[in-house]
Amino acid sequence: MALRATAVDTGPVRDLARNSRTATAEVVVTGDPQPRPGNGRRVIIIRARVETIPGAKVRVPVLLIASHDRWLHLVPSQRVRLHGRFVPPRGADLLAAVVIVRGPPAVLRPPSKIQRAAERVRARLRAASSRLPPDQRGVLPGMVVGDTSLLDPALADGFRAAGLSHLLVVSGANLAIVIGAVLGLCRLGGLGRRRAPPVAVLAVLAFIVVARPEPSVLRAAVMGLIGMLALFTGRQRQGMPALAAAVLLLVLIDPGLARSYGFALSVLATAGLLVLAPPWRERLARRLPGPLADALAVAAAAQLAVAPVLVMLSGEVGVVSVFANLLAAPAVAPATLLGALAAATAPFSLPLARLLVWPAGLAVGWIIRVARTAAALPYATIPWTSGGLGAATLIVAAGIAVLILRSRRMRLIVAAAMTGILIAVLVQRATAPGWPPPGWQMVACDVGQGDALALSTAPGQAVVVDTGPDPAPVDRCLRRLHITDVPVLILTHPHADHINGTSGVRRDRDVHTILTTSLTSGREARLTHGLPTRSAQAGQQWRIGDLTLSVLAPTATGPALAPEDDGTTINNASVVVVARRPGFSALLAGDIEAEAQRALESAVPPVDVLKVPHHGSRSQDHRFLAAAHASISLISVGEPNDYGHPSPATLRLLHHLRTQVHRTDKEGDIAIVRTRTGIATVPSRAP
């Protein structure tokens, strides 16, 4: 670890980063490109190894941040030339630099033969799965080879909330199923006890190549190889020594794993299965059928072992994860085995692979149903302190729970207390209005650093304005509002934090019309295919029920946007709308900045609610904000964010205008309701 840390902390690449220098470099791609939502456009994250910079040959790991679509088509082991700015890395990863790449890559060398073969297998598996429903199409390759490129982020978030996210990465469970199947086939084929392990070793190595050598894959593979070595030599296998040997070997090969939370989770889960599951299984078997005792012990042991690290990362404790894993477990083996068989046959016979994928899709469909149902349950996760303090308090709480379970008197006291709390909660839920509040007019959804709003038009129906940076948060918000029909979806401008959640709005909902800025560059087209799209222009009016939408901007005379336009130009092309109904009005100003605000000052009518432009950035015009005369101002913003939003100067300006300021990062989803005396806000959580 010390040697690796020294290598990345010194040398010419780190010198470039310290000085934020721009340079040309030759790098070898070491990981699959991962698209991420960014501020204004999609960001592509790629792990790579720098091998040449001007005047020096090096060999250090870096993280590339690119935006050109050609980066998405790269495969590990490809050598490319790039031009970019080197900056110091943040966080605990052992990286020499982060490189902000400009333009497309220049490919110098194709992938290795092994990686080309692996990519062909992954591509053919995706092709074989293409006739499955979209959700199954995204999950099956993830379960089989760790390929989540087609996975809907909203569905991935549901898997996380249900405690099933481990199924979306290749882990020890996947490898155990594959190894077991290979050894079984070897036995059926007449291979003896000593000839079967070498065949299984080859299967494991092929599995590693296809699934990529991610930390969980490497850990599972080394554990499997150590076990088969013991089987091959005739020695008795010992679980914990094998795990310790695997950890030591992997950390020596890649010291960066010592700082990998994914690797830590994988090791802890295995340790839980080895240490906690056997005695729990014995105790449960006294009162439950054997298979049920086995499944419950395994699920509970793995979940308890990884809980402290999960709390450190997420600040949440999963409540339903054990039961979700129990329900999903019967479908995991069929989905994995049939999917692996389809992956093996797809390069040679796509029709046969499609035949195998169909029953695998049925098994995956059951797992998806379990994940969605569990994630939608009230209190599927409960808040907890994050970081080291959260992990420590969870361990203390677990210790206290063990002491309580050992004492019959304490069990009775705690059971009585929990019963009282449960009754109080039920009474409160029965008497309190809950969320969403009845008769809500508008809701600013908490989608992080982005915008998404809903304007009620009828029960179960709402106009949606922007969709946030990710599908999952806006989907959750609309589900809480019980929205199933969207007559108009307004995408104010083509920045990722306003449009990348569009698939979340479309999930299980009817979206009738898309309204976009007439100055668009067309970036949102990939998210709105198949839906009627209209261009918004100043002077237009839309009426849905008793809600009227009046478009103030953009004007038809403005220049069309180009993909390379900067952030300010695109922001100022935002659709600006005034929403009105009896007893309620709102000005929804997108991300327009001071220049566009000044052009609209004379057209701004007095309203009840102002959606503060551009997340409360510093670029605001005092007269534009004052013209709205809004009693309530909403700021949709994420915490933390790298932009300094909302600006202290903007907050002071709003305070000077005597408007109530409400923020989604402090209050969660914020509803606007009508009262006898006017309008009021109802946040989903206390600020």
pLDDT in tens, 283-293: 888 877 776 67
The answer, yes or no, to whether residue 236 has pLDDT greater than 50, is no
The answer, yes or no, to whether residue 322 has pLDDT greater than 90, is no
Q: Out of 193-197, 323-327, 584-588, 645-649, give the one with best mean pLDDT.
A: 584-588
Under a CB-based contact definition with an 8 Å cutoff, are residues 453 and 444 in contact?
yes
Rg of the chain over all Cα atoms, to the nearest angstrom: 28
Query: Which of 439, 437, 433 has the alpha carbon at shortest distance from 458?
Result: 439
Region of poorest pLDDT, from 63-72, 328-337, 468-477, 626-635? 328-337
Euclidean distance between CA atoms 193 and 144, whole angstroms = 27
Q: Out of 89-103, 143-157, 450-464, 490-504, give the one with best mean pLDDT.
A: 450-464
In sequence order, what are the beta bridge partners of 358? none
Q: Which residue has the tokens 């129990």?
A: 326
Kindly tell me the sign of the dihedral angle through the C-alpha atoms of 271, 272, 273, 275.
positive
Query: Which of 138, 218, 170 has the alpha carbon at shortest distance from 471?
Result: 138
Kindly tell me the sign of the dihedral angle through the C-alpha atoms of 138, 141, 145, 149.
negative
The answer, yes or no, to whether residue 377 has pLDDT greater than 50, is yes
Instruction: For residue 149, give the 3-state DSSP assignment.
Output: coil
* Inter-CA distances, 207 with 29, 210, 340, Å: 20, 5, 9
Euclidean distance between CA atoms 277 and 298, whole angstroms = 5
Bridging pattern class, strands 510-517 and 533-536: parallel
pLDDT at 174: 64
pLDDT at 172: 60
Query: Which of 213, 206, 218 has the alpha carbon at shortest distance from 347?
Result: 206
DSSP string over 153-192: HHHHHHHHHTT-GGGGS--HHHHHHHHHHHHHHHHHTT--
Lookup: tokens for 382: 């409960």
Percentage of the chain with pLDDT > 70?
83
In sequence order, what are the beta bridge partners of 488? 513
Confidence class of residue 334 from pLDDT cuts 50, 70 and 90?
Answer: confident
Kindly tell me the sign of the dihedral angle through the C-alpha atoms of 201, 203, 204, 208.
positive
Percentage of the chain with pLDDT > 90?
30
Euclidean distance between CA atoms 37 and 593, whole angstroms = 22
pLDDT at 303: 72
CB-CB neighbours of 29 under 10 Å? 23
The answer, yes or no, to whether residue 536 has pLDDT greater than 50, is yes
The answer, yes or no, to whether residue 309 has pLDDT greater than 60, is yes
Query: Which of 135, 187, 124 has the alpha carbon at shortest distance from 335?
Result: 135
H helix or E strand, kind and range, residue 451: none
Euclidean distance between CA atoms 385 and 224, whole angstroms = 36
Euclidean distance between CA atoms 3 and 546, whole angstroms = 68
Q: Which residue has the tokens 């679509």?
A: 69
Under a CB-based contact definition with an 8 Å cutoff, are residues 246 and 223 in contact?
yes
* Inter-CA distances, 297 with 270, 291, 307, 468, Å: 13, 10, 15, 40
CA end-to-end span of the chain, whole Å?
A: 43
DSSP string over 20-64: T-EEEEEEEE-S--EEE--SSS-EEEEEEEEEEETTEEEEEEEEE
Confidence class of residue 37 from pLDDT cuts 50, 70 and 90?
Answer: low
More confident residue, 609 or 176: 609
pLDDT at 40: 46
Tell me the average pLDDT across 1-10.
62
Q: How does pLDDT run across 474-511, given as a tens digit for each residue?
A: 998 999 999 999 999 999 998 888 998 998 999 889 99
Lookup: tokens for 288: 């439950």
More confident residue, 468 or 244: 468
Average pLDDT score, the chain: 82
pTM recorded for the entire structure:
0.64
Question: Which runs of E-coded beta strand occur in 492-592?
Answer: 510-517, 533-536, 541-544, 547-553, 576-581, 584-588
Question: Which runs of E-coded beta strand occur in 525-582?
Answer: 533-536, 541-544, 547-553, 576-581
Region of poorest pLDDT, from 7-11, 215-219, 673-677? 215-219
Euclidean distance between CA atoms 107 and 120, whole angstroms = 19
Euclidean distance between CA atoms 94 and 139, whole angstroms = 30
